[in-house]
Amino acid sequence: MLIAGNWKMNTDVSSSVELARGVIQESEHAGAVNVAVCPPAPLLSVVGEALAGSHVRLGAQNMYWVDSGAFTGEISAQMLSSLGCHYVIVGHSERRQYFGETDVEVNKKVRQSVKAGLVPIICVGERLNQRKAGKEQEVVAAQVQHALEGMEVRASDSFVIAYEPVWAIGTGETATPEQAQGMHKFIRTLVRQQFGNQIADGLHILYGGSMKPSNAEELLIQNDVDGGLIGGASLKADIFGQIIQAAQKL
């Protein structure tokens, strides 16, 4: 089980450190649950320092796919790994939607992150109109297949997939446990076809989209839901802590 907080474009130097300390406290009894936080890039360093010695892992929210060079404003995978990042979120729907990130770019980022020893959290998910048209599996299959194309996978923990239906992100609306389970099972089947049983069975497939303490348990209890990628509810340590506890009970 993996519970990861995506802080998006929130917090600053002092509040990020305070939140990180709170998350450490909340996850002291997390047991076998892996906990991660993904602060904004300029705060990775201070949050990384705050997390030192704890078992809460650090993740970034984005990266560029080139080793180094004249790419003003971009961040390389190597920079992230030198900052102590374990994870990097790739292909979040907000990046696809507001910054025009394509499946081809997502694939380049996935391959570069793995090459640098990072674990990409690859985000996929359909929009509301696509679900209404009954095309959610088609959309997600294309995103998963593009993202994983040509990726070298050695172990089931070398990447993570997050199913985040766009209509459930930041809207307060959540996929039902059945909708989440159905899509997660489908994603695992796609991974099985490409990488075989061992990778597919060990893979963490996270659910994201308005996960909160009141719905965490019913989602996390599903067979193919192996954790959560949490936005809004990860910005308060005690609320995030309640989700960690829900995971820990299962």
* Catalytic residue positions, numbered: 92, 164
Nearer to ligand 13P, 95 or 188 (CB): 95
**Binders of ligand 13P among 58-117, rule CB under 6 A?**
92
Residue nearest to ligand 13P (CB): 231
Q: Coil, strand or helix: which one is 151?
A: coil
Closer Cβ to ligand 13P, 205 or 233, answer by number: 233
Rule CB under 6 A: is residue 187 a binding residue for ligand 13P?
A: no
Q: What is the DSSP letter of 53?
A: T
- Residue 9 burial by Cβ neighbours in a 10 Å radius (0-12, 13-18, 19+): exposed
Smallest gap from residue 8 Cβ to ligand 13P (A): 7
* Lookup: tokens for 218: 């019913």
Interaction of residue 39 with ligand 13P, rule CB under 6 A? no
Q: Which of 59, 91, 120, 208 binds ligand 13P (CB under 6 A)?
A: 208
Q: Which uninterrupted H or E stretch holds 157? A: none
Residues in the chain: 250
231 part of the interface to ligand 13P, by CB under 6 A = yes
**Separation of alpha carbons 114 and 203, rounded Å:** 15
Name the residue nearer to ligand 13P (CB basis): 188 or 212: 212
- Which contiguous run of DSSP H or E holds residue 249? helix 237-249
Residue 242 is a binding residue for ligand 13P (CB under 6 A): no
50 binds ligand 13P (CB under 6 A): no
H or E stretch at 38? strand 34-38
111/125 with CB nearer ligand 13P:
125
Q: Distance between CA atoms of 78 and 75, rounded to whole angstroms?
A: 8
Shortest distance, position 212 Cβ to ligand 13P, whole Å: 7
DSSP 91: S
Q: Could you list the residues that contact ligand 13P (CB under 6 A)? A: 6, 92, 164, 169-170, 208-211, 229-233
